[in-house]
Structure 1
């Protein structure tokens, strides 16, 4: 019974305590709810911030990995392009070297052959020496002709002077002006006066002295002494003879003295020699450019194919082969490699 009473008393105390606690909890419910809400919000904020930080870190890692991947791919492309460019530059340089060697060999062998050019230059030098010798001979010939012309002019002038001074010729009775007794030998003019024949002056006609020159002709008119003008025929006189040509009459009346020194060549010898020399030079230049140094083509069609010939055996005209356009020829064989 005591225990039952004790339990009943505890039940009452429990109820009272329960009521007190409920009332006390009801009084602090809103305050505790706000505190719990604040604690929950703070905890959730911490949790969200930690999660966001974790997401940021993971995003940074993902971005780092992706950017590294893309950068490595781009770098591989750049390296590949740079390697391709370097390889192409190297190949182009090697191709240029090969083309330079081949073109040099091609030009030296088939276009500008050294030995052919050397022989050509030797021929030109020999021809120049020959031309120089001929020009020297021509110059010497012209000089001799000029000297001869000068001598002819001097002799002609002396002859003409002798004709004019023929009256000063010495005689047995009286010595002349040029034959002085104080001289050991007679003067040159005295000897010339003895050689020249005396010629009486004609009426109104001149003594024509033709000098051996292609330009100058010396004509001297001799008039009778005491007359200022040539004689004229009387008007009342009637010519009953048959008239002749004026040129024939002139040649008959004009008398040319015999010169003691004459040229051995014609008057136009210099012009003919120059013309002949120019003709020889022209023919030599034509023969030189046609035969002596004629460049050859390396490809000449033989049958249905093309054959490569040596320069010394080719007779093709001078053309510049387009060897730089294409190096591929069909049905071509090099000399010495025929099968």
Structure 2
């Protein structure tokens, strides 16, 4: 009995030991697995990075070689272009020198004549001197004409002023303002006043309005001619200024009926009947013309609106919504006349009671 108990106790301890050792082994295995994974990842990363560094070095070598080749090709083309431009510039400069020498020789030999050109310039200078002399003479003539005109204007103005101020002339009884008794000789305006005639009233008024006014620059001012006012038309005076007979005639004038009163009520029907008679008189025949081919497809003739035949239109208001005297039933006819409005009848009428319409 004791042996079985001891074996049972040993068996339980053995099981616990077994599970403990298995747990420790599993932990060691997991630790070793993680370590192996880490080592593999580090090694593989090192290999990949080394491979990438090698690829980058190879790519840099390839790019360096290619870019160097492209740069040398571009440099060679630039050198060739610069050499070609330099050579063309040199050739153009040499061609310009050759053309300059040849054209100079050709013009001096065949076209240009030194002595003829010298003769031409000499004649041109002489002609310029003659033209300048004529222009100076013309300017002198114009200046003398302007001076003469100015002197004439001044004399005319002085003459007019003397005529205008003729009342200042000295008399035997009273000396004028230009003939002072304190002077040995009278003023020159005194002699001028003695030589001219006095200015009349009409002439002085016309001269004052036309020639007597000058502006700031000394130019005489002229006014536009004054047009006479148009005559006053024959208009009827308003208000209390009208003639008594005209007022009475307007007040007691005969009655003027309006269009509504003067026109007959049946004027529209009479005009329609007259149009029907006119159309019946002008129509030649009532037979409808049918074509020879396929007459069934022919559209019938549409008669006129105001015809008097059996094809005529129905009178307005006889069939649908109005009852008139033309219908078979003799009901009360439709009333077509309305009384006039008193307020409208007084529009544009006079104030007299004779013209009122009742």
TM-score range (shorter-chain normalised) is 0.3 to 0.5
TM-score (norm 1): 0.32
Larger relative contact order (Cα-Cα within 8 Å, sequence gap ≥ 6): 1
TM-score, structure 2 as length reference: 0.31
